[in-house]
């Protein structure tokens, strides 16, 4: 369960990225987040895993207010939230396998177990042959899939996907979508920020529309439309 209570975010340079947002995303829900570039989608997502703190208001994860979390408590929050970053954020000095296993590694999991889990997830994403390659040797779409693999490897309660502007391979998008649905069906809440109209229109899930930092539409079984609001 994710809850925003009158959340606003003003960056140091004075830009209001989020303006008084209140909403609730239930456990196991699948939510699209759309809006024009610069609308505040990434900022919204960053509130959830506390890459950024709200300027005012509160964010609750599983009924727990994460706004006053202490520095040393933050890692444990993040271990429960898988994030597919808009810019992937892969570690270039280690292999695909090591990147994917990293989340488990920081938790001190047995290497054999990590290896099992990593192999399984890489298989799921069609990356088995890339396990020993380095991120710099991969295409954009492959990097994104590695990032997804890392995000889901420890079965997080919440999965956040921040898709880059400009579509990657559309066929891959559908493959990824299927995987997200699969993960979602196992109880993980998914928040998916995207620019992919076809994806949103076909899925008919709940759609949140952000514009200039405001939540302008929140529709069950919505479609990709933010021009009309």
Could you list the residues that contact ligand ATP (CB under 6 A)? 11, 13, 15, 17, 35, 37-43, 86, 165
The label of the residue with tokens 């990590």 reads: 114
Nearer to other proteins, 154 or 184 (CB): 154
What is the C-alpha to C-alpha distance for residues 134 and 15, in angstroms, rounded to an integer? 37
Count of residues that interact with other proteins, criterion CB under 8 A: 28
For the chain, the residue count is: 229
Which residues, 48 to 107, sit near other proteins by CB under 8 A? 49, 51, 53, 71-72, 74-76, 78-79, 83, 85, 89-94, 102-103, 105-107
Q: Does 32 bind other proteins (CB under 8 A)?
A: no
In whole angstroms, how close is the CB of 221 to other proteins at the nearest point? 32
Q: Which two tokens stand for residue 112?
A: 């054999």
| 99 closest CA partner among 136, 48, 139 | 136
CB of 35 to ligand ATP, least distance (A): 6
Task: Mention every residue, 6+ apart, whose C-beta is less than 8 A from residue 82.
Answer: 103, 150, 151, 152, 153, 154, 156, 158, 159, 160, 188
| Phi, psi of 145, rounded to the nearest 5 degrees | -70, -35
Residue 43 dihedral angles phi and psi, to the nearest 5°: -60, -45
User: Which of other proteins, ligand ATP, Mg ion, none has residue 51 at its interface (CB below 5 to 8 Å by kind)?
Assistant: other proteins
Q: Which residues bind other proteins (CB under 8 A)?
A: 49, 51, 53, 71-72, 74-76, 78-79, 83, 85, 89-94, 102-103, 105-111, 150
């Amino acid at each position: 369960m994710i809850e925003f209570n009158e959340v606003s975010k003003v960056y140091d340079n004075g830009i209001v990225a989020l303006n008084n947002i209140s909403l609730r995303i239930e456990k196991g829900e699948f939510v699209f987040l759309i809006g024009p570039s610069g609308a505040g989608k990434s900022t919204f997502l960053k509130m959830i895993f506390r890459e950024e703190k709200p300027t005012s208001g509160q964010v609750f994860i599983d009924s727990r207010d994460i706004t006053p979390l202490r520095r040393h408590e933050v890692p444990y929050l993040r271990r429960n939230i898988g994030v597919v970053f808009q810019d992937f954020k892969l570690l270039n000095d280690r292999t695909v396998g090591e990147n994917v296993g990293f989340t488990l590694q920081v938790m001190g999991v047995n290497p054999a177990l990590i290896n099992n889990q990593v192999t399984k997830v890489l298989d799921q994403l069609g990356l088995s042959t890339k396990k020993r390659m380095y991120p710099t040797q991969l295409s954009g779409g492959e990097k994104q899939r590695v990032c997804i693999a890392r995000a889901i490897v420890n079965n997080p309660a919440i999965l956040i996907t921040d898709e880059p502007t400009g579509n990657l391979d559309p066929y891959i998008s559908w493959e990824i979508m299927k995987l997200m649905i699969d993960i979602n069906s196992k109880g993980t809440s998914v928040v998916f920020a995207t620019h992919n109209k076809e994806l949103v229109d076909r899925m008919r899930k709940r759609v949140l529309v952000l514009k200039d930092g405001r939540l302008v539409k929140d529709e069950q079984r919505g479609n990709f439309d933010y021009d009309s609001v």
